Copies of this chain bind each other. A is one copy, B any other.
Amino acid sequence: MANTRQQVHEQLRARIIRLDLEPGSALSENDLAAELGVSRTPVRESLILLGDEGLVDVYPQLGTFVSRIRPADVASAQFVREALECAALRDAVGRASPRDLTDLRRLLRAQGDAAEDADMDGFFRLDEDFHARLMAVGGHASAWPVVAQAKAQLDRARRLSLPLTQQLPLLIGQHTAVVDLLEAADPAAAEESLREHLRLVFSDVEKIRRRHPELFSEDGETPRPRRKPVARP
């Protein structure tokens, strides 16, 4: 990719979602530009886009900060994701070709392998591929970016919940159930199964919130972050 801005944007986005950049930490245009070996311009433009996605908060003349996870945003993202994926699945039932089904089942097997190897990054990618493919089967691949943007808010917290590795087989089982019901052409049951699966992710986020409250924004908190104090002589 020739475009510096896109490179910076993708890299920062990945780092934020991986929690490599911690919620609440400051992001200075100057520091990032120096660290990445580019000028401030593409960094700044990337931060503007990330602000639009809700992944960073920009306070003019004060600083840019990795946004803390806002419970209201999580609920909103979950609503968007659930509504879109379930609607797409309803359209997918009856439209799935044999090729679609074999591809989906291949993804399921790959997820099983990744779970056995404890390959978290691989499992995450395959999970994303699975859900994207499901929407594509319904003829709504072009709506996936909307889901992906909403998902970003959830994935930051989910990444922490996976060390509870014993859940992986459960997730794969739910995926399998969705595919089975899709093949059986039972729209209502398929949708309910998918909804249950997505809601499980939601409750995971709530668990993480209790275990890592520092990643979330308290309700009564002042929205204005503090600048880091200078070193005293």
A49 part of interface (Cβ distance < 8 Å): yes
When A3-B60, A60-B3 are in contact, do A80 and B146 touch as well, CB less than 8 Å?
yes
**Contact indicator B142/A72 (Cβ below 8 Å):** yes
List the number of copies, as a whole number.
2
**Contact indicator A79/B73 (Cβ below 8 Å):** no
B residues in contact with A82, CB < 8 Å: 87
Q: List 29 A-B contacts (CB under 8 A).
A: A2-B60, A3-B60, A45-B45, A45-B48, A48-B48, A49-B49, A49-B52, A52-B52, A72-B142, A73-B142, A75-B142, A76-B140, A76-B143, A79-B84, A79-B88, A79-B140, A80-B84, A80-B143, A80-B146, A83-B83, A83-B84, A83-B86, A83-B87, A83-B88, A84-B84, A86-B87, A87-B87, A146-B146, A146-B150
